[in-house]
Structure 1
């Protein structure tokens, strides 16, 4: 017999079941709608540079696989700067400096903003996050149970530093560097191999012990790049990047280079070059064989590859060159390299910071995105394990996921050396500095002036102290010209630089000999 109470209990249970089932149906319907091919959506992805002519390459690198697995999402690629259109501008307009940040912000705002922004410059990430142009990803990462600890710590920390401790972008790959060394040179000199966690002082002391020979038989202890010469300004800037030495004040009106710290750095590098611990440009010259037996050698003039440099800085892709050399050593009549790597050296007081780490596929969600859900879906996919497994095949970049970082087949080296050091702070990366450089693009002339003077110092025409004093004097004069003419062409920007070469172009060493001989 069915009682009234039993009927009530049945209705209650039925109601409870339906109340649980309805949300489930709704969720299923929502998911179905989300993946329904008829529910087509467009995801707009912004890039710094691009054009319709090379969009195929970009899609192959970034979006084809995502579109294949998300058949109801169409990808639209939107370059901030279309260089295919720029070539048709008149000559005067082509020579005008392009405000990259302004162009980037144009596609991130307005009536039809991009949803995802792929950033190739770590400093731009910092500025966009400071300007509240990007959506913070930390909450989304937590909600989707993405374990950020599975990523290389230095990559995550490098991104967080640009976002005041928060993540505003993720990258599936990165390009790290390490200190490569030639085992044979160390063994022959009876010097212990370098190790991870060495300071620059440690490395330079080792390098001094490893130099040997003269002329064509010279072997150098260290070079700032794998090509050999260490007398260029670019190498110097990479070397001092962790120290964050400034060229001018935050107003761009006064030079700040004539200081003991600047002088110490210049003097150290100059002395290494003078003592033949590091090679000069002329040391890279080689006798090119001619005649019927001529064979192209891609490693000619590359001192480390030819066993002429004991240690050199190189990025991850340098392994490709070493492998190619060793595989073809018989044909090239070259000796195989017995090598390994350790971490990039650090400056005392800046432990753990090695510089020369590039994060160039940073994907973030535009704060103004019309389609933020699909934007996050794309970034998740781009930084997921499946995509990382494919990207781990790259011989030019490393996967940002730790589990896919492995020694290449058939090789043996200290692969962890590439993952231990944090990237150096980006020069002029602060919001104030970026705004200043946009307002006064002619400030780049100060850098160019420094390069010219540094070259004179490396050639021995000036001391480091003289060079920095000249840079300060002429730089201050140039800064005043830039103040009144921040963007236009400046006549005689480097007036007096070459005229001030010490001794009329005669090196300091020759001047000393002449003075000792009583020659005026």
Structure 2
């Protein structure tokens, strides 16, 4: 057998581990068998870091790469972002070395587990004596739930949803700014007071990044039922969530009037550039990613809460760094990951404005102190407690489109029909994915 044939068989074996074993509709993901961990070497080592996060090389180096290179001068760090034409599967087929994979929890299921790259890091955690109790508990619990008690990654940074607002629009309307600790009904009442047309442009009171608000929903609703393997969207809890978080504040803020007047739905462009949206629910990390925050007159408050869940904000949105199953340098990769999760690096990230993954309050209080937005209400990011992270399915990302579309359908029709249509489409997508 030629080398090329052997290589192809190895790749096919790696890809085979990505198939989901279904029993009673429940996905069972098992970490692929991996070679024994080689002893750590003092020789120079190249570590390849891959991700589907979309992070540029500059962004990766600013937050992680430069710190790694400084700490481990004998490690050469090569970062390869996944791209449409060269994704994780293409990398595997090409025989690309992969040592560390990082991604947010929603994409980890498809990118890491879906490609058979998951590796149970529990033995490495014991060897390095890394203390998981120093991390935000919800992020560790979520990984245990995702992996069936294993650890396929260690959280390195976190995220959540907050409410941004355009101060100029509130000033023109003579309406008080939103406040930390508001409930959704209080926020909806505030939207009713905004002037919807200032004479020059139509104003929408509220818009959101629907995909993130759904993914990190405050009611901790899973997209897929863990036991049956079916979509969950058609129930009273999802109806309550959509009505409270989307329909009521959107209608109060003149959503329909805006759509009729402008022939478009308000979104990021209308908030960041044309200043036609007063408030926007979005990831807390956005201020350090979107350059438009540098020019607009804005501030932030905590995400409004449900009256029957006081103080409960969005779910956390952790990003995990994982040792891959096919890494030949697992010890060295673990060195890098535990360093990124150390208090030293977590403090640096927090000061930069990257939400730390550790639970230590002193490090959280450093958040954004060395950023250009240190005078903003950054404490809003930590005002609410996290909602628990529910069961995550490998089909979640596939279901986001029909789930978020249910909001539009409910606005233009009725809730029951919207949820039923979303359920039908979601279950069809699950069945199609299983058939592949």
SS of residue paired to 2:368: coil
SS of residue paired to 1:467: helix
1:414 aligns with 2:385: no
Give the whole-Å Cα distance in 1 for the aligned partners of 2:217 and 2:179.
21
1:344 aligns with 2:303: yes
Could you say which residue in structure 1 is the equivalent of 2:417? 466
Change (3 A) 1:167 1:418: farther
Question: RMSD of the alignment, in Å?
Answer: 5.1
Higher relative contact order (CA 8 A, sep 6+): 2
Which consecutive residues of structure 2, in runs of 5 or more, have no partner in the other structure?
1-38, 358-362
Contact 1:123–1:162 (8 Å) recurs in 2: no
Give the whole-Å Cα distance in 2 for the aligned partners of 1:75 and 1:217.
50
- After TM superposition, list the pairs within 5 Å mapping 1:58-69 onto structure 2: 62-63=64-65, 65-69=67-71
Which consecutive residues of structure 1, in runs of 5 or more, have no partner in the other structure?
1-32, 87-97, 226-232, 287-298, 327-336, 489-520
- After TM superposition, list the pairs within 5 Å mapping 1:92-171 onto structure 2: 116-123=99-106, 133-135=120-122, 139=126, 143=129, 153=136, 157-163=138-144, 169-171=153-155
Q: CA deviation at 1:236?
A: 6.3
Give the whole-Å Cα distance in 2 for the aligned partners of 1:340 and 1:55.
29
Could you say which residue in structure 2 is the equivalent of 1:244? 221
Change (3 A) 1:103 1:188: same
Change (3 A) 1:413 1:243: same
TM-score, normalising length: structure 2: 0.63
Change (3 A) 1:158 1:65: closer
Give the whole-Å Cα distance in 1 for the aligned partners of 2:367 and 2:69.
26
Change (3 A) 1:264 1:188: same
Which structure's CA Rg is the greater one? 1
Contact 1:353–1:424 (8 Å) recurs in 2: yes
Give the whole-Å Cα distance in 2 for the aligned partners of 1:50 and 1:470.
30
TM-score, normalising length: structure 1: 0.54
Q: CA deviation at 1:483?
A: 4.5
1:263 to 239, 242, 265: 239
Could you say which residue in structure 2 is the equivalent of 1:90? none
Give the whole-Å Cα distance in 2 for the aligned partners of 1:388 and 1:257.
37
Q: CA deviation at 1:120?
A: 0.2
- How many residues of Structure 1 are paired with residues of Structure 2 in the alignment? 377
Could you say which residue in structure 2 is the equivalent of 1:313? 281
2:337 to 379, 385, 398: 379
Q: CA deviation at 1:223?
A: 2.2
Could you say which residue in structure 2 is the equivalent of 1:302? 270
Give the whole-Å Cα distance in 2 for the aligned partners of 1:166 and 1:450.
30
Give the whole-Å Cα distance in 1 for the aligned partners of 2:321 and 2:433.
36
Contact 1:219–1:310 (8 Å) recurs in 2: yes
Q: CA deviation at 1:419?
A: 2.9
